[in-house]
Amino acid sequence: MNAPAPKPWIMAIAPYVPGRATTDDGRKAAKLSSNENPLGTSPKAREAFMAHAGDLERYPDAGATIVREAIAEKFGLDPARIIYGNGSDEVLHLAAGAFAGPDDEVIYVRYGFAVYEIATRRVGATPVIAPDKDYATDVDAILAAVTDRTRIVFVANPNNPTGTFAPRSEIARLHAGLPGHVLLVLDQAYAEYIDAADDDGGMELAKTATNVLVTRTFSKIHGLAAERIGWGYAHPDIVTAMHRIRLPFSITIAGQHAAVAALGDQAFVDHTREHNKRWRAWFAGEIAKLGNAGLRAIPSEANFVLVVFEGALTAETAYKGLMDAGFIVRWLPGQGLAQGLRITIGTEEETRGVAAALRALATA
Ligand X SMILES: *Cc1c(COP(=O)(O)O)cnc(C)c1O
Q: Rule CB under 6 A: which residues touch ligand X?
A: 35, 87-89, 113, 156, 160, 187, 189, 217, 219-220, 225, 230
The amino acid occupying position 311 is G
**CA–CA gap between residue 214 and residue 91 (Å, rounded):** 10
Q: Between 225 and 241, whose beta carbon lies closer to ligand X?
A: 225
- Min separation Cβ 84 and ligand X, Å: 10
Q: Between 249 and 363, whose beta carbon lies closer to ligand X?
A: 249
Cis peptide before 179 (omega within 30 of 0): no
Q: Between 42 and 361, whose beta carbon lies closer to ligand X?
A: 42
- Min separation Cβ 342 and ligand X, Å: 10
- Min separation Cβ 220 and ligand X, Å: 6
Q: Between 89 and 192, whose beta carbon lies closer to ligand X?
A: 89
- Min separation Cβ 116 and ligand X, Å: 9
Which residues are within 8 A (CB) of 11 and not within 5 positions of it... i.e. 6 or more apart? none
Q: Return the CA Rg of the chain.
A: 20
Q: Between 41 and 160, whose beta carbon lies closer to ligand X?
A: 160
Q: Is 109 helix (H, G, I), strand (E, B) or coil?
A: strand
- Min separation Cβ 363 and ligand X, Å: 31
Q: Which residues of 4-37 are buried (b: 16+ CB within 10 A; e: fewer)?
A: eeeeeeeeeeeeeeeebeebeeeeebbbbbbbbb
**CA–CA gap between residue 227 and residue 69 (Å, rounded):** 19
